[in-house]
Chains A and B, each alone.
Chain A
């Protein structure tokens, strides 16, 4: 626990929107280590995005403290890069322009921006759409543009909120491999929200399972897979199969509670 990068200490968040108050999360204790890939799963509305927002410093908890490398997060946390659930691209910039934004802010020279952006476009498979505006892209393509922008920003810690939700199976595996490989190679710390249990197991070093709202941590499981793993062959790995089954069993009761009866 000594090398925790992101620490949630007894976090609670109460949203007060007018007369209605929503308790999003409660008693969340979580430490994410340097270079660790932590996946977060849990029912919709349990406060996963809220936690990422707090790690980025966009939102303050109503109880507890969020620390980044030991320092309480009170303002924009520039060490984190956030790929939000909605892509939030700039509508007035084409794909190239959007990916270039963080590089422009960091004052990279023009030529090097062009080079990096092109490499990232090739990486996320958007070649040929350089000059398209976000409104002309499909949902998955917008997500990939946002991913490329995040990679261009190149933060120490990645906050990713369902980054691959809109991708087809094949592209998704490709992106998973790419992100996992990149993060391992560059020793990035990652907080990765997903609704896909297979993805949570395949990518994570640890997986945090949340309860329904108000979100609390039901369980943190260590994923018994090697740091360097072949995502394409995981289906044949007994440890992977057992792990996803275990997660399923953990989530299933709350499914039954919300009306998931046998048919």
Chain B
């Protein structure tokens, strides 16, 4: 409670000094001012444009996130369990991994046009590698003792996957998903910046094109809120997916 009060105080100080500095010390053209930004946000909310554009971006980011996350998990688990295959494809994966994924945008535009598909694929590609690498590490770190114990009980590969490998790797999967959130938005927004007539990225580029600094800041704030939502969703799913973790976190430490 006290923490939140302090946070609110800090926010008020920042906004107030922004308002004061703007137009007096630094030209309003460059930093706009909070009151103007709030006005723009209100206007966008009233005419519904913010909801429309945010919905587009959220849809792209979320679909790409899901697509890339699932593919990353699957490939991570398969390669994590199949040593030879992993060794064979390793250099290829690393080559693709080192490639800045944004550089693929023009190719994806050629393939998928400038609609939502292209942003979903771009986002998915970015998320894929992060989740894949984490899952792979997680699967490789599975306790060999636990695998041995269950194998001794006659467990087959799918038993091992369901009872040991996946639950044990899921911590890593979520670590990958959590760091993917901002990158998922990068994929979606950059996609929109490059080629689009919809979405928060478009809103941003449009405002900037008209030298509307207030609009730019308003779009940025909307993006921030979206990132916050996505983060919360991942954290919530994480808690739901790993009940033993929250039991562990709330447990008092004894050694």
Contact = CB atoms under 8 A, between A and B. Distances in A.
A101 B162 CA distance: 11
Contacts of B149: 82, 84, 88
Contact of A105 (B153, B167, B242, B244): B153
Interface string A82-123: 101010101111100000011011100000000000000000
Interface of B is mostly: helix
A117 to B, nearest CB: 15
Contacts of B148: 58, 76
A68 interface: no
B247 A136 contact: yes
B168 interface: yes
Contacts of B244: 91-94, 133, 135
Contacts of B248: 133, 135
Interface residues of B, number: 21
A78 B153 contact: yes
A136 B244 CA distance: 10
A163 interface: no
B40 to A, nearest CB: 48
Interface string A47-61: 000000000111000
A80 interface: yes
B146 A88 contact: yes
Contacts of B87: none
Given A135-B248, A136-B247, A136-B251, A92 B152 contact: no
A90 B152 contact: no
B164 interface: yes
B167 A106 contact: no
A77 B247 contact: no
A104 B159 CA distance: 9
Given A90-B164, A92-B167, A133-B244, A105 B150 contact: yes
Contact of B152 (A77, A91, A93): A77
A60 to B, nearest CB: 13
A164 interface: no
A35 interface: no
B154 A90 contact: no
Nearest to A106: B154
A148 to B, nearest CB: 14
B247 A133 contact: yes
A58 B251 contact: no
B153 A153 contact: yes
Nearest to B162: A104
A150 B56 CA distance: 54
A82 B247 contact: no
A133 B151 CA distance: 22
A81 interface: yes
B20 interface: no
B239 to A, nearest CB: 14
A101 B168 CA distance: 15
7 contacts: A56-B152, A58-B148, A58-B152, A82-B152, A84-B145, A135-B248, A135-B251
Given A88-B143, A90-B167, 12 more contacts: A76-B151, A76-B154, A80-B152, A81-B153, A84-B145, A88-B145, A88-B149, A92-B244, A94-B244, A101-B150, A104-B159, A133-B248
Among all A-B residue pairs, the 9 with the closest Cβ atoms: A92-B167, A92-B244, A102-B153, A133-B244, A78-B154, A133-B247, A88-B149, A105-B155, A76-B152
